[in-house]
Amino acid sequence: MWCRKLIVPALAVCLCLRLPAEPASTEAEAEAAPPPPAALHAAVKDGEVIGREQHQRVFMYVGGRRLMLVVPQGYRAETTNPEKVVLVNADYSCVLSFRIAAPASAAATPLNAALCRGWLSARLGDLRIQEEFSLAAASQSGPAFEVSYKVDGLSRSGRVAFIPSPVGVLEFSLAASPEMFQAAKAEFHSLLLGFRISDANGRLEIISAQSES
């Protein structure tokens, strides 16, 4: 069971608070229901071939903007679900995903960390937050959480970031087996680093795969 570890430039990480393991939220937060996600119109496109590696990107269209994700090497993109894009490695021990967690009306800056905790608790249930900090993508930053939880009795480790944007609150997530979690975090940071959203004029910056890596 192996995940390729990419060497990526460090993301801008704001204040990092290391919290003791504890229940993820108050009762009020746990009752907060996530808003319906926006539909994604996603397509996978082949990019450059470098050596023997075929680079791929996922292009999406939401709310009049174009969005782009870079697929990490060794992962496969799944776009059949209109509400999210899922990237999985060969043995499914690491899963990356992207979706619009809330509409643009909820994408206030800065985002309310307590509200984001509530969204997580409503979806994952038996959740424990190990760390709470901030991460950045597309020149915006927002609350991020390192979590542990169980799915069908299996322990999972995860990292979730909520980023404000013109099309809504972006949610980037990582779910991995505890053994693969540390290595998978490099792929997660690479996903954030390579994410792009078009400007008000429709211009979408696409950099070379060599720069992305």
Under the banding of pLDDT at 50, 70 and 90, the label for residue 165 is very high
Q: What is the pLDDT of residue 209?
A: 58
Domains annotated on the chain, with CATH: 17-199 (3.40.1000.10)
> What's the pTM value of the predicted model, to 2 decimals?
0.81
Q: Is the pLDDT of residue 112 over 90?
A: no
Each residue of 39-81: pLDDT tens digit? 899 999 987 776 677 789 999 999 889 999 999 989 999 999 9
Distance of CA 34 to the CA centre of its chain: 16
Distance of CA 85 to the CA centre of its chain: 10
Cβ pair 115, 105 in contact under 8 A: no
The DSSP letter of residue 167 is: T
Q: What would the mean pLDDT of 94-98 be, rounded to a whole number?
A: 97
Q: What would the mean pLDDT of 129-146 be, rounded to a whole number?
A: 96
Helices (H), the chain: 27-30, 113-124, 181-194, 209-212
Cβ pair 16, 43 in contact under 8 A: no
Dig out the tokens for 95 from the structure: 């899963």
In this structure, the chain runs to a length of: 213
Where is 188: in which H helix or E strand?
A: helix 181-194
Positive or negative torsion for Cα 152, 157, 161, 167: negative
